[in-house]
Chain A
Amino acid sequence: MGTSLRQEQPQPPLDGRAPLSESEFSFTLARVAVAQICQSVGFKGAQSSALEALTDIATRYLEAIAKLGAASSNSNCRTQSNLPDIIVAVEDLASVQGFRGSSDIRSHSLWTSAVIEDLMKFVKYRDEIPFAQPLPPRKSFFQGANRKLFKHRDNRKWYSSNGGSWRHVPSWLPSAPVVEEKDKAEGKKGQVKWECCDGREEEREEDGRRETVERECKNEIVQVTGKRGKVRFRMGVGLSNPGMVGNLRVRGAAAGIGKRVWCQW
């Protein structure tokens, strides 16, 4: 019936030989953590079914916080969640039991939330219980990542652990265009060009006679030799005319801003 907590912990296959799926692996790790929490509370053993149920609840609680936090940030037109989102999410989940100040919900300050005060007390008075199994160093999770990134990490790195290929994108799809980092760096006078933000490169370089125009539609490079003549602008004329709208950006001394040019090739 009851087995010792120590015996209950299965060996997580950190060497990667056992064919555990990702969810099974994370569930196994979570079970170790939950067993440790039970042990710290005073239990000497656990039924495996009870431990699994509690682990299931723990993972669902985690995901519920994540979903509520993400929903809260998304409804505020953000993609990244912040502290108030998490506080709102934790308060929502604690509202089943109720907490001090929950009667005037949403009108009290989030910073003085009783739920957060309880968390502060929990951190202050409970002993730390580090995870029982040895954790791999950060490097193995974020391959090739800079060590400076460890303090300020990005969740998106998780998806692209496989040398730039995204994990959630099917392998038969063509590879995504690579955003050139150097273009951002060479932005004029500390400005970042807006083209760099969405990864499209559409730029006209002018060094003497040679100009390279890279168009976004067909991704073809047109070599233009010789000096260009005058370009005439006609605003809003000839909409029925089948032409081409090129979005040229002139970087010379003549004009510093991008211009929408109507031209026929």
Chain B
Amino acid sequence: MNGQSSQQQPKDGRHDDDAALTEFLASLMDYTPTIPDELVEHYLAKSGFQCPDVRLTRLVAVATQKFIADVATDALQQCKARQSAVIKDKRDKQQKDKRLILTMEDLSKALREYGVNVKHQEYFADSPSAGLDAASREE
């Protein structure tokens, strides 16, 4: 891959982008990502990635954090959409389900857009009526 491809760019807008990127990297020194540096370094070292610069470690941490936040936001939208769909159902049930909880079905729907296929494990009900509730809710 061409890591040096940027060096052949015209110099017109280069200075602004360069300055913005430098400023961004400098701001990462003061930024604390949710994923700790040590944890990120552990996973990076495990995969053969070597870089002594803590700013780049944090850049990776921020990229991961953004990805997870995007997935979680999509899952939250799925959750809200699912709950607004069943609003005509029973009142007490709606109250109970109003809590925003990350579930597997919302997550798998959200992840489908990111190229991750999450398959549920087969669920065998012990009684014929056990799985009906969830199945009717999905439709």
Contacts and interface: CB of A to CB of B under 8 A. Distances in A.
Given A61-B64, A158-B45, A109 B14 contact: yes
Contacts of A169: none
Interface string B18-54: 1011001101100110111011111111111111111
B52 A80 contact: yes
Interface-centre pick from A49, A69, A93 (highest chain B CB count, 10 A): A69
A54 B71 contact: yes
A50 B102 contact: yes
B69 A41 contact: yes
Contact of B101 (A43, A128, A130): A43
B72 interface: yes
Contacts of B1: 71-72, 75-76, 88, 106
Interface stretch (B2-10, B83-91, B124-132): B2-10
Contacts of B94: none
B52 to A, nearest CB: 5
Decide if the interface of chain B is mainly helix, strand, loop or mixed: helix
Interface stretch (A31-39, A171-179, A182-190, A214-222): A31-39
B59 A86 contact: yes
B49 A155 contact: yes
B134 to A, nearest CB: 11
Nearest to A35: B102
B72 A54 contact: yes
A53 interface: yes
Interface residues of A, number: 79
A130 B35 CA distance: 8
A96 B68 CA distance: 15
Given A72-B3, A79-B50, A82-B3, A43 B100 contact: yes
Nearest to A71: B1
B43 A62 contact: yes
Given A29-B36, A110-B6, A111-B21, A47 B53 contact: no
Contacts of B71: 54, 57
B104 interface: yes
20 contacts: A2-B99, A2-B102, A37-B34, A44-B101, A46-B101, A53-B107, A61-B67, A66-B46, A72-B1, A75-B1, A76-B1, A80-B51, A83-B59, A90-B63, A96-B115, A119-B24, A123-B24, A123-B28, A141-B38, A155-B52
Interface of A: 1-2, 26, 29-30, 33-34, 36-38, 40-47, 49-51, 53-54, 57-59, 61-63, 65-67, 69-73, 75-76, 79-86, 88, 90, 93, 96-97, 106-107, 109-112, 116, 118-120, 122-123, 126, 128-131, 135, 141, 151-156, 158-159
